[in-house]
Each structure stands twice: as structure tokens, then as C-alpha cells.
Amino acid sequence: MAQLVQSFVGDTALRLQNEEFVRQMHFGTNWTQLRIGLWMSIPQGTGTIFSPTLYAGLCQGTADGYKSSSTAEWVGWRFGQGTANWTYNAGPPDYYSTGNARQRIYKIGAVTTTAGSVLSVTEYVPIAIRAFYGFDFLKTTTGYSLASVSPGAIPTVDITEPNFLMSAHADIGSSSYGPVNFATNNLLDSLSLYWDFPAVGIEFSSILVVRVI
């Protein structure tokens, strides 16, 4: 299956601390299925992170992402839930873990709406080393359908860039999708990442958007 790929970071890293990163995709709204691939880590940490959340999704335009109170339309994943602490675990390698960590959501204006129940999984995010996380999107006749990919176990080694690139392209569409149904305007054309915790940053060594064509 053919794919078009857009990289947003390159050989530097993006760190967010109560900040949002929004970038328009070069193919705009011309997509049916895509994946956001994140090469992600917590750069440092020695204690509990209290109720943080990463929002990973797609939005309409770059002016009003998830953080805005006048979001035109945002669809994606709430990763971390904001209701559970991230627990520090000493390694090596050190890592954070949190339970019940993922939920599909959408936002219009200032109102966030959940779509389905919280996924009862334990999430692991490494400290200083990096792991792959993927968020898949599929347009449907009733809105969107979403899936996600994460390590599923404690990351033990820093994945290389070639392995990150392979993971970003692998098995798109093979995960179990769940619906996000609402009266969409089908104008989602931008990537949005928002980390809402100010004291500890989250870091992305690379961000890829892979469009299936």
C-alpha cells in the first residue's frame, strides 16, 4: 500500500511543557486514513507526575488547536487522562507508568466530548530513552474511527531512527478501531499535540504523519 510521509521535527527535538504544537499537513484535508507517529520520551524525572495529559489529534487550521476555547473541530486521543498520576519507576532504564491511559475524544468550541470508555491499559513512557507511539485515523460516513499503538511493555532500549520509521509505517489499519461519531465538517488538515503539564516536559525526537493512499 502506498504512503505519503511528512516529518515535522527532523534531527532536533520538540519539548512541550504546558504547550501545544500545531502544524498544517501538506496534503491538507485530502486524506482518508493516516497515522501520527511519535518518537517520544520524558527527558528527565525522579518523582510522580500528578495528573498530566497528552492530547494527540487532528484539528481544523492552525489558529485554534485543542488548547483554544474556540476550536473549530478537533479529533483524537487523550493520553494520560488527567485523572491518573504517572508513577516514576527506577530502572535501568527509568520509566513512567499510568493506568487507564487512553480515550477517544473530540472537541468543538470549548466543549470536549468523550467517545467510548477509557481503555483499561497500562501505559509506559521511558525516561531519556525513546519509544514509538502511533495514533491512527480513518474517515467514516458518520465521523471518524480511531486506533492507537504503544509499546505495551516497559521500554528497555532506545529505539533507533530506522526502527521508528519502520514502526510509523507498519500495520496501519490492523489495530482495533473505535468510532468517534459526530457531525464533522471533514476539514481536519492539521496535526495537534498538546501536553498540559508545566513542571515536567515531554519530548519528541521525531513526528511523522503517514497518509495511506
Torsion of CA 81, 87, 95, 7, to 10 degrees: 20
Helix (H, G, I), strand (E, B) or coil at 61: coil
Q: How many CA atoms lie within 13 A of 136 on its CB side?
A: 22
Torsion of CA 164, 166, 168, 170, to 10 degrees: -150
Check whether 42 has a pLDDT greater than 60. yes
User: How many domains does one find in the chain?
Assistant: 1
Q: What mean pLDDT do residues 173-188 have? A: 84
Q: Which structural domain range is residue 167 located in?
A: 3-212
Tell me the pLDDT tens digit for each residue of 141-180: 999 999 988 888 899 999 998 999 999 888 776 667 899 9
At residue 101, what are phi and psi to the nearest 5 degrees?
-95, -10
Q: Which residues contact 90 (CB under 8 A, 6 or more apart)?
A: none
Tell me the pLDDT tens digit for each residue of 51-110: 899 999 999 999 999 999 999 999 999 987 666 789 999 988 999 998 767 899 999 999
CATH number of the domain encompassing residue 98: 2.60.120.200
Q: How far apart are CA 47 and CA 44, in angstroms?
A: 10
